C-alpha cells in the first residue's frame, strides 16, 4: 500500500455536446439553395474539430493525438490536478475494491465511480475512454502502453514514480489546453505557502515537526522531500528532525517504516499523526514507548484521519495540509 501511495492521481470528464440545427424549408427552390449551404456549414464544423486536435509529445517520447473535446478521460492518481483545473474524471483511483479513495477530494468527486489503482485493461475498456493519462512510465512498462493505446490515446505525464507535482500540474494543464489556469493555481499556492511560512515564524519561530502514519499497528514517517514532508520542510521551512533526515537518506517511498524505539528518539516540537487505526482501537498509542516520545509528552501531537490530505500531494492536498498545520500550531 505504501508503494501505491507513491504514485499520484485520475483525469476527466469534460462536457461538450454537438449542436443540431434544423432548417425549415418554404419551397422546392429554397430547399435547393439551403441544402448546399447546410452541407458547407457541416463541413466547416468538421474541419474546425479536426483543427482543434493537438499532437503532444509525452514524457516517454510518444506523439499523442489529444482529442479536440475529450469527454471520457481516465487517469491514475491525478485527480488533485484535475479538480484544481475544474475537470471531473470519468472514474477515480481506488484501492481494495473502492474501500480506499482520496477522501479529501470527495466534495468534488462524490458519485464518480471508482477504478482499481492499477487500471486493469478490462475495467478501462468498459468505461470507453477517449483519452488515458498515466502518471508515470512505470505504469505502462512491460508492453502495457501499447495495450492502453489500443483502447484510447494514452499520454504519460512523467518518467519517475515521484514526479514533481508542480510539473505534473502544468503538464496536465497543457493536455487540456488549460496552461493559464494551471499557472494561476500554482501562483495561488505559492502565495498561500509564503504567507503561512511568515505566519508560523511570527507565532512560534522555526519549530521542528514530523508527520507519522499509523496503519495496521505499524508506524511510518514521511520523507523529508516527498508528500507532506515537502510541504513542511520545503514550502513552510519547518526544521527537519535528525531521525527524519536519517530515515529519508535511504528512503525510496513517500512513507517509510519506523519502529517505536526509533520514534522515542524523534525530538520534534510538533507531531502530526495520521491515524488509520482509529476504528481498531489504535492500541499502539497506548504503548509506554509512544508516551515517551518528546512531542507526545509535551502534548504537541495533532491527530488526523487518512481521509484528509496528508498522504497525498498536489495543489489541493498541499493547501489543505498548510491549513491543518496553521490551525494546529499557530495559536
Cα 305 from Cα 273, distance rounded (Å): 8
Closest CA to 75 of 183, 156, 180, 174: 156
Do 83 and 316 touch, CB atoms closer than 8 A? yes
Could you tell me the pTM of the whole model?
A: 0.84
Same CATH fold assignment for domains 4-16+51-182 and 200-329: yes
- Residue 251: phi and psi, rounded to 5, are -80, 145
Per-residue cell: 319? 493547501
| Residue 251: per-residue pLDDT | 87
Q: Which fold has domain 200-329?
A: Rossmann fold (3.40.50)
DSSP string, 250-302: T--SSEEEE-HHHHTT---SEEEEEES-GGGT-GGGGSHHHHTSHHHHTT-EE
Burial of 265 (0-12, 13-18, 19+ CB in 10 A): middle
Residue partners of 163: CB distance under 8 A and separation at least 6:
8, 135, 136, 157
Do 41 and 31 touch, CB atoms closer than 8 A? no
| Residue 23: per-residue pLDDT | 26
Q: How far lies 317's CA from each of 80, 189, 260, in Å?
A: 7, 11, 28
What are the sequence ranges of the domains in the chain? 4-16+51-182, 200-329
Cα 23 from Cα 261, distance rounded (Å): 79
Q: How far lies 271's CA from each of 222, 256, 288, 304, in Å?
A: 11, 16, 17, 11
Cα 201 from Cα 110, distance rounded (Å): 37
Cα 324 from Cα 329, distance rounded (Å): 9
Average confidence (pLDDT) per 10 residues, the chain, 331 residues: 40 29 32 40 43 89 94 92 95 91 96 95 96 96 96 95 93 96 98 98 97 97 97 98 96 93 97 95 95 97 97 97 98 78
Query: What CATH homologous superfamily does 4-16+51-182 map to?
Result: Nitrogenase molybdenum iron protein domain (3.40.50.1980)
| Residue 320: per-residue pLDDT | 98
- Name the residue with cell 471508482: 114
Number of H helices and number of E strands within the chain? Answer: 13, 12
Task: Tell whether the torsion through CA atoms of 168, 174, 178 and 179 is positive or negative.
Answer: positive
| Residue 217: per-residue pLDDT | 96
Return the number of other C-beta atoms located less than 10 Å from residue 104's C-beta. Answer: 24
| Residue 98: per-residue pLDDT | 83
First to last CA, the chain: 35
Amino acid at each position: 500500500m505504501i508503494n501505491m501511495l507513491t504514485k499520484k492521481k485520475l483525469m476527466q470528464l469534460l462536457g461538450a455536446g454537438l449542436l443540431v440545427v434544423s432548417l425549415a424549408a418554404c419551397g422546392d427552390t429554397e430547399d435547393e439553395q439551403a441544402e448546399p449551404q447546410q452541407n458547407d456549414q457541416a463541413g466547416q464544423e468538421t474541419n474546425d474539430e479536426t483543427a482543434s486536435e493537438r499532437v503532444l509529445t509525452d514524457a516517454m517520447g510518444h506523439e499523442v493525438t489529444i482529442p479536440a473535446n475529450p469527454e471520457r478521460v481516465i487517469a491514475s492518481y491525478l485527480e488533485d490536478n484535475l479538480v484544481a483545473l475544474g475537470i471531473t474524471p470519468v472514474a477515480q483511483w481506488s484501492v481494495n475494491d473502492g474501500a480506499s479513495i482520496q477522501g479529501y477530494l470527495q466534495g468534488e468527486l462524490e458519485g464518480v465511480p471508482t477504478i482499481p489503482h492499477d487500471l486493469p485493461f478490462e475495467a478501462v475498456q468498459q468505461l470507453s475512454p477517449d483519452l488515458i493519462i498515466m502518471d508515470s512510465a512505470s505504469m505502462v512498462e512491460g508492453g502495457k502502453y501499447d495495450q492502453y493505446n489500443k483502447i484510447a490515446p494514452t499520454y504519460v505525464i512523467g518518467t519517475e514514480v515521484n514526479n514533481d507535482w508542480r510539473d505534473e500540474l502544468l503538464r496536465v494543464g497543457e493536455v487540456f489546453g488549460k496552461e493559464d489556469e494551471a499557472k494561476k493555481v500554482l501562483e495561488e499556492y505559492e502565495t498561500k505557502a509564503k504567507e503561512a511560512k511568515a505566519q508560523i515564524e511570527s507565532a512560534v519561530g522555526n519549530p521542528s515537526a514530523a508527520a507519522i502514519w499509523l496503519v495496521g499497528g505499524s508506524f511510518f514517517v514521511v520523507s523529508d522531500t516527498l508528500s507532506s514532508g515537502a510541504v513542511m520542510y520545503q514550502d513552510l521551512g519547518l526544521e527537519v528532525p535528525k531521525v527524519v533526515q536519517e530515515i529519508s537518506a535511504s528512503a525510496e517511498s513517500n512513507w517509510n517504516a519506523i519502529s517505536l524505539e526509533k520514534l522515542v528518539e524523534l525530538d520534534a516540537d510538533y507531531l502530526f499523526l495520521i491515524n488509520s487505526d482509529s476504528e481498531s482501537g489504535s492500541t499502539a498509542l497506548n504503548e509506554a514507548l509512544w508516551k515517551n516520545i518528546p512531542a507526545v509528552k509535551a502534548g504537541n501531537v495533532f491527530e488526523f484521519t487518512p481521509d484528509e490530505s496528508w498522504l497525498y500531494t498536489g495543489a489541493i492536498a498541499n493547501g489543505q495540509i498548510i491549513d491543518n498545520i496553521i490551525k494546529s500550531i499557530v495559536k
